[in-house]
Amino acid sequence: MFFGNYGLYFLISIPALLLGLYAQSKVQSAYKKYSQIRISNGMTGAEVARKVLDANNLRNVRIEQVRGTLSDHYDPRKKVLRLSQSVYGTPSIAAAGVAAHEAGHAIQHKEKYGPLSLRSIMVPSVQIGSWLGPIIFMGGLLLAMDNLAIIGLFLFGATSLFAIVTIPVELDASKRAKDVLSSAGIVYGSELNGVSAVLDAAALTYVAGAVQALSTLLYYILLFFGGRRRR
Ligand SMILES: [Zn+2]
């Protein structure tokens, strides 16, 4: 019975899971370390974001404070940049890096950066596919209806594709952040290494997310062909 194939599932998913845990611990330790190191120019995350946005003619993008840790994000529909409390009001190296990264997403939005547009188009199908895909797929396997299982595979596959498209979007936002922080003179010398440590660790969590989505897809594909062989 394919649902009992836990050995195969663990074999495929454990490397991705370990990478995810490693990336999480790395981003948390880098964030903690550089949140405690004061930026020499004394600017808070909110001030950094405002400066980067204004320099890119994005005065219409508002900056708000949001609850949580590492909950920072840019909302393209409302054109609001939301920064977590410790980024918003803290003049730290980590805050500058995160704030400039989120401002980078706003710049991507303004410039209609290809991968970001693709990602936005995919959102509705991913919201459905992430939960409906596995249900349809398992239903197809149970009922031995190959076409149904394949529809489920494609629906879930959209989720994996979304996770892959997310990687260039995040890397590009971080690259923009590092460039603008040094060119605008917001961070100096070795401070940029701290910014890189935080942003590179964050990027690794997105790589881990894509690896996890792909490994789950691979597991489904193996189940599908395994199920067919037994018939
Ligand atoms: Zn981002």
Nearest to 102 by CA among 48, 23, 54, 60: 48
- Give residue 128's domain range: 2-38+92-104+111-229
Interval between CA 202 and ligand 1 midpoint (Å): 8
Instruction: Going residue by residue through the chain, which has 231 residues, state the pLDDT in tens, using 9 for 90 and above.
Output: 455 567 877 888 899 999 999 999 999 999 999 999 999 999 999 999 999 999 999 999 999 999 998 899 999 999 999 999 999 999 999 999 999 999 999 999 999 999 999 999 999 889 999 999 999 999 999 999 999 999 999 999 999 999 999 999 999 999 999 999 999 999 998 999 999 999 999 999 999 999 999 999 999 999 898 877 777
What pLDDT is stored for residue 11 in this prediction?
Answer: 84
150 within domain boundaries: yes
75 within domain boundaries: no
128 within domain boundaries: yes
Q: Indicate which residue of 47, 64, 102, 170 is catalytic.
A: 102
Interval between CA 181 and ligand 1 midpoint (Å): 16
What pLDDT is stored for residue 226 in this prediction?
Answer: 82
Nearest to 137 by CA among 11, 5, 225, 231: 225
Whole-angstrom CA distances from 138 to 105, 112, 128, 145 are: 37, 38, 16, 10
Write out the two tokens for 220. 């489904």
CA geometry: angle at 189 spanning 183 and 193, to 5°?
Answer: 95
Q: Is 39 in contact with 93 (CB distance < 8 Å)?
A: yes
Q: SS3 for 216?
A: helix
62 within domain boundaries: no
73 within domain boundaries: no
Give the total number of structural domains in the chain. Answer: 1
170 catalytic? Reply is no
Interval between CA 226 and ligand 1 midpoint (Å): 38
